[in-house]
Structure 1
């Protein structure tokens, strides 16, 4: 399996510095947050996009995915969400990312049937365009769809090979699923796996890998046992927790921890 980290852990950091961190700490790739307050976002000019793509190629670091903020199950009209998806897909194509990660974003009082239909309709509409640009849209197990069982309700309705899933192991664990259950449900759709660490179900501030309660060893064992050979991406949500320790100092220990888990599960 290949290892990546998310730039959520280093908000606002220039691409040159992100690539230097990945290289210095032995990561194969990065998941890039594509938000208007980040250096890389859909407002970039064609020249800026070409320059960023060239920097990735020169560094040898792979761009695993763009982490978009589109909420595909959220309330409101479809048109703005579909337009946002298309803009993010264009950026992913131009930068060379194979995946675009999106969030459900269903409102707390939104009926599940309505949210399922809304998400499936928007993802289905965007799927054809995703095929045209050669990018796969991945719905993250998150918020009202934190379990694999909930996410596949939408993915089953879409039924398009250009729409899959990101397995966020924190959310499936918070939803009460065991890693074997989550993998069994998500495996036909799985793009990559997000790993993270927290102290408890009530304390979800990010911790260094191995310092919390999430079943990361079990997740890696399940993946290895089934011959899954994709990406593990460490998502350290520094952007949401100002007091969290800086990410750069944790990168080597995190890589070593994941490497150890992979070795033990082999």
Structure 2
């Protein structure tokens, strides 16, 4: 059993795809999570030719595109139409570049009751699942914002009940939600697509740190995954885009890859 390792382009905002691929290959990562935002090289607004070029660039280097990380908020208040259009555009992009997953946020907000946020997410994810199945892409709901714990996400995913809709476990958000790693894994295991790892100084200071330099229970998370025979992806999401003073990611990729390798060896 061996997990695959990836990093998110959130850590290298705006970097050309050729350079992203080079960083992944140089430092021994198996894949890359592509942040799908208009300020990035890959987003739903690019055309067919650009999508084909992106797929060819990754394929030629033997690097996988893990996911298209979008910003659709499936639990948000409002009409379903615009949200579903966002999700479908992300699914089209993922299909065209060869990514097996898209990432969506809950985004339930504070202006509606939790039950209403859940109902929005269940209805929209259920509606999008058929299109996801047609394209062979899986929608992953990230543990984030209004649904930051595994229990929160599982409550929605269990109600959707479709294998083309799953979970993205962001270990920072479940930890901030005061959920223990074993509790998170137990809740998310039936739906788990992949796991986002990161590190921070404290609950009050979420500035990204090199892996292993902060307080997040990465060793425990990897150990739990290993003990259960999970052989999916660990993706390092280093949130440089939101923290300008954070150290540049490229110089951390090598040490980060080695740290994850040590965790995997210790858990083997």
> 1:207: which partner in 2?
209
Q: Which residues in structure 2 correspond to 1:94-109 (within 5 Å)?
A: 94-109=96-111
1:160 is paired with a residue whose SS is: coil
In structure 1, what is the equivalent of residue 226 of structure 2? 224
CA distance in 2, matches of 1:102, 1:86: 11
Deviations 1:142-173 (A, max 9, x none): 01111000111110111111000000000111
> How many matched pairs?
266
Q: Aligned residue for 1:235?
A: 237
The one-character-per-residue Cα deviations of 1:8-49 (angstroms, maximum 9, x if unpaired) are: 000111100000000011100000001111101111111111
Matches within 5 A, 1:28-177: 28-177=30-179
2:27 equivalent to 1:25? yes
After TM superposition, what 4+ stretches of structure 1 lie above 3 angstroms from structure 2?
none
- Deviation readout 1:116-138 (Å, 9 max, x if unpaired): 00011111111000000000000
TM-score (norm 1): 0.99
Deviations 1:26-85 (A, max 9, x none): 100000001111101111111111111111110100000000011111111100000011
In structure 2, the partner of 1:12 is 14
Q: What is the DSSP-based 3-state SS (H/G/I as helix, E as strand, rest coil) of the residue aligned with 1:192? A: strand
Q: Provide, for residues 181-206 of structure 1, a one-character-per-residue CA deviation record: whole Å limited to 9, x for no partner.
A: 11011000000000000001101110
- The gaps in structure 2 that reach 5 residues or longer are none
Q: Distance in 2 between matches of 1:45 and 1:228?
A: 36
SS in 2 for 1:73: coil
1:193-204 to 2 correspondences below 5 Å: 193-204=195-206
Deviation for aligned residue 1:109: 2.5
SS in structure 2 of the partner of residue 191 of structure 1 = strand
Deviation at 1:256, TM superposition (A): 0.4
1:108 & 1:197 partners in 2: Cα distance? 27
1:107, distance to aligned residue in structure 2 (A): 1.1
Rounded Cα–Cα distance in structure 2 between residues aligned with 1:219 and 1:136 = 23
Provide the rounded CA distance (Å) in 2 between the counterparts of 1:110 and 1:17.
42
Distance 1:42 1:238 in 2: 22
